[in-house]
Amino acid sequence: MSPARADFATRGAPVGQGARAFRKVLVANRGEIAVRVCRTLKEMGIPSVTVYSDADRGAPHVRSGDESVAIGPAPPAQSYLNAQAILEAARHVGADAIHPGYGFLSESAIFAKQCRDAGLTFIGPSPESTARLGDKSAARRTAAECGVPCVPGAEGVDSVERALGEADRVGYPVLLKASGGGGGRGMRLVRARDEMPAALEAARREAGSAFGDERLLLEKYVHPARHIEIQILADGREVAALGERECSLQRRHQKLIEESPSVAVASSLREAMQGAAASLARAASYAGAMTVEFLLGPDGTFYFLEVNTRLQVEHPVTEMRSGLDLVRAQILIAAGRPLGESLGKGTPELRGHAIEARLCAEDAYQGFLPQTGKILLLAWPKADGSRVDTGIAEGQTLHPYYDSLLAKVIAHGRDREDARTKLLSALRGTALLGVVTNQSFLIDLLEDAAFRQGETFTHTVESREWQAPKEIPDAVLAAAATFLTSPKAAGDGEEETDRYSPWQRLGGWGRTP
- Active-site residue numbers? 310
Q: Mark out the alpha helices in 78-195 (DSSP H runs).
A: 83-93, 109-117, 127-133, 136-145, 160-170
Sheet with 254-260, edge to edge strand ranges: 302-308, 287-296, 226-235, 239-251, 254-260, 353-360, 405-413, 386-390
SS3 359: strand
Gap between the Cα atoms of 448 and 149, Å rounded: 33
SS3 259: strand
Nearest to 328 by CA among 307, 344, 306: 344
* Alpha carbon distances (Å) from 20 to 7, 25, 340: 22, 11, 17
Is omega for the bond preceding 152 within 30 degrees of 0, making it cis? no
CB under 8 Å to 44, separation ≥6 — which residues? 15, 19, 20, 21, 328, 331
Nearest to 195 by CA among 218, 229, 223: 218
CB under 8 Å to 3, separation ≥6 — which residues? 380, 388, 389, 390, 407
Measured from the Cβ of residue 401, the count of other Cβ atoms closer than 10 Å reads 17
SS3 122: strand
Measured from the Cβ of residue 397, the count of other Cβ atoms closer than 10 Å reads 13
Gap between the Cα atoms of 203 and 197, Å rounded: 10
Burial of 18 from C-beta contacts in 10 A (0-12 / 13-18 / 19+): exposed
| 48, containing H or E segment | strand 48-53
* Alpha carbon distances (Å) from 75 to 90, 360, 373: 20, 20, 18
Gap between the Cα atoms of 347 and 344, Å rounded: 8
Burial of 463 from C-beta contacts in 10 A (0-12 / 13-18 / 19+): exposed
Gap between the Cα atoms of 167 and 272, Å rounded: 30
